[in-house]
Chains A and B, each alone.
Chain A
Amino acid sequence: MEISEAEFAVTTADGFEAFLDSRNEPEWLQQKRRDAFALYEDYSKKDLDPEEFRRLDLRLFRPNDYRIRSTGDDSSAAGQFNNLMTERGEFAGQVAHIDGKPVQSQVQAELTEKGVIFCSLAEAVENHPELVQKHLLTQAVQPDTDRFSAWHAAFWTGGVFLYVPRNVELTQPLHSLIGLSRSGTADFSHTLVVLEDGARATLLEETSSADANAAGMHMGAIELIVGAGAHLAYVQLQTWNERVFHFAHQCGRVAQDGSLQWTVSALGSKFSHVHQDVMLDGKGANAQVNGVAFATDRQKLSYYTRQAHKAPHTTSDLLYKEVVRDRARMIWRGMIDVDEVAQLTDGYQRNDSLILSRDARVDAIPGLEINADDVRCTHAATAGQVDEEQILYCLSRGISRQEAMHVIVEGFFSQVFDRIPVELVRHTLSQTVQEKLGFGLED
């Protein structure tokens, strides 16, 4: 059967209606999308939050340049993506999307027998509607947060669903790839992870471009729902090419005594603006947040992080490390919020940046908002340049300037690499960093 190519504009009511018609979805979901689109239209008439967008110039972003595609080019399989973990690791399951379309979905049979679900979100809507309806855009990411969350909620297409039943422990990691291939594609993928009480899992996700020159947009969301006593390790490696605009609302919720270890790496994209929230909802909940960012050329990466302590005895520990070079710019704004009831919490945030060129810039803005009186919350931010004496020391031992730079940058990241539990991730990160250092070096 020949399927005709369909494209949908993502900013107009006509585009939205045509998109809705093309989806074979239950009514509750279509209604949810309609509500979100109405919100999006409202938000679009209003100005963006001036405080948030003061440092972010969106003039170069033209939403009308991008389309959702109902059919994609299936031949562009994972093989075209550079330096992926997929090729080097062993996984208990793999799901891949390219240009918003699922192209691969598999999971070990023994996991399925235990009730684990790992598939594309569209498949999950079909086969497990009650689970999706309960968790999708209800608890973690809220569609009415801002223009971008509403937009995502109206148009989400690709994305992955992981569900781990009570007390089921996965030993091997799972892998998800969200790829962009053709120029002008809008990707609205959504990651939804639900761990029931006592469950354990590791999910490694990569967002990457198959074509180094294809312009694209990613309007994503990530929801990580961690049950009582459950443990989730989630890693997202973001290596879009430098023609992709990346927006995302990401939120993790952790119930009593649960723990979330969340690593983000921001290496790619032309422009990123990401909200990353962790909410410690239950007593004794814990979150560790690791960030590795490396911006070069004219990349502009903005990360807003929030550690929300909503219950007593909760702990959070955030460490972001960023390197900027050329004319790149990195913005980090971190908040620790402590609710009145969240006594005896321990919140920590630290941001270190290394600035390799005169024209590169970092704005790191930590913040605390504490409403409980018996807590320990601390933050620290440092910024520095590569010390010429360190370079000379390396050179004097026969190491070339470029390798010296790599040694120093990698050393700078090592503190955060050391916190990443999966060797494969460390290795992939280190290789990607090395690749990035390889071109456009000054001198």
Chain B
Amino acid sequence: MNALLKIEDLHVNVGETEILKGVNLEIRQGEIHALMGPNGSGKSTLAYTLIGHPKYEVTKGRIEIDGVELNEMDPSDRARLGMFLAFQYPVTIPGVKVADFLRLALSNVRNPDRKEGESLISMREFRTELRETMKQLNMDSSFATRYLNEGFSGGEKKRMEILQLALLKPKFALLDETDSGLDSDAVRVVSEGLSKLAGPEMGVLIITHHERLLEYNEPQFTHVMLAGKIVETGDASLAHELHANGYDSIRKRHPEEAAWEEQQQETAAK
């Protein structure tokens, strides 16, 4: 049976401030979901919370995969269970070669029980796999020997995220604005890349402000977040409508959340 990622009444604080105010969402392996919403509505917060970023504190509610609760789970264990985030702003790790990093990551995700210091997947096997995956994504093989994200352009960083997604083959992939800050060629490459990877084995949550990624990867569900809640869920046409008309109609239909949003912006301004 397909794995199920289930998020129930999720409340999340950053410090003293509540950012997510009761999020409900279910994603099955093989489904594509889009998550939209105005700036600051909490989309990245949801993504970070799902992968276990320590700054985001779950105060209420539950995250589970097939009944296994993730709330207290270490980010590394979540990754080994099949959770993956393509970061909106991937960090640079100076001096660490892409290939070395990926081999270590892959060794852990393939053998979830692996302890530190235990043997890695074989070099030959890994090299072949890396080379083929990079070819599939039209990436130059010289990337493998560069230092992770050091001196990478915005587009190269995003492609590096897609490469990791392709290698690690997670059950659930969260893509946080993987299409932003890219020129239209790069958006196409990333979109095509994702469409090759997404399949019956992967549940995908695409966070985006643009349409291109969704054209290549048509979502079965579109969710709209406003002030820390998912206020509406529709199909692909909802995404089109929001692109065309913005969030005003959403705010009108959900005055309570719209008021929270305004309040939040005021406090932020102070």
- Give the contacting residue for B101; candidates A387, A396, A407, A414; CB below 8 A: A407
* Residue A397 lies at the interface, judged by CB distance under 8 Å to chain B: yes
Q: Which of A387, A388, A398, A410 is within 8 Å of B76, CB to CB?
A: A398
- Is A402 touching B96 in the complex (CB atoms < 8 A)? no
Tally of A-B residue pairs with Cβ under 8 A? 83
The residue in A389, A396, A408 that gathers the most chain B C-beta atoms within 10 A of its C-beta is: A396
Query: Are A413 and B91 in contact, with the CB atoms below 8 A?
Result: no
Give the contact stretch, choosing among B24-32, B79-87, B126-134, B225-233.
Answer: B79-87
A263 shortest CB reach to chain B, Å: 17
- Minimum Cβ distance to chain B for residue A203 (Å): 27
Q: B residues engaging A (CB < 8 A)?
A: 51-54, 74-76, 78-80, 84-85, 87, 90-91, 93-96, 100-101, 104-105, 108-109, 112, 115-117, 147-148, 164, 168
A91 within 8 A of B: no
CB atoms of A393 and B117 under 8 A apart: no
Q: Which of A392, A397, A402, A407 contacts B164 (CB 8 A)?
A: A397
Is A415 in contact with B95, judged by CB distance below 8 angstroms? yes
Cα–Cα distance between A412 and B95 once the two chains are bound (Å): 6
Contact status A390-B168, CB under 8 Å: no
Q: For B94, list chain A residues within 8 Å (CB).
A: 411-412, 414-415
The 29 sampled A-B contact pairs (Cβ below 8 Å) are A388-B54, A392-B53, A392-B75, A393-B87, A394-B93, A395-B76, A396-B79, A397-B105, A397-B108, A398-B105, A399-B104, A399-B105, A400-B108, A403-B104, A406-B116, A407-B101, A407-B104, A408-B96, A410-B96, A411-B93, A411-B94, A411-B95, A411-B147, A413-B95, A414-B94, A414-B95, A414-B96, A414-B147, A415-B95
Please name the 8 residue pairs, one residue from A and one from B, whose CB atoms are nearest each other, closest first.
A411-B95, A414-B95, A398-B108, A397-B105, A411-B96, A395-B75, A398-B79, A398-B109
**Partner-B contacts on A (CB < 8 A):** 387-390, 392-403, 406-408, 410-415, 438
- CB of B103, distance to nearest CB on chain A (Å): 11
B116 touches A393 (CB 8 A): no
Q: A392-B53, A396-B79, A406-B116 are in contact. List 20 more A-B contacts (CB 8 A).
A: A392-B54, A392-B75, A393-B87, A393-B93, A394-B93, A394-B101, A396-B51, A397-B105, A397-B108, A398-B76, A399-B104, A399-B105, A400-B76, A403-B116, A407-B93, A408-B96, A411-B93, A411-B94, A414-B94, A415-B94
Known: A388-B54, A395-B76. A400 touches B95 (CB 8 A): no
Determine if A397 and B168 form an interchain contact, defined as CB atoms under 8 angstroms apart: yes
Instruction: List the B residue with the shortest CB-CB distance to A417.
Output: B95
In the complex, what residues of A have CB within 8 A of residue B100's CB? 407
> Contacts of B168 on A, CB cut-off 8 Å?
397-398
A438 surroundings in chain B (CB, below 8 A): 117
Q: How far is the CB of B202 from chain A (nearest CB, A)?
A: 16
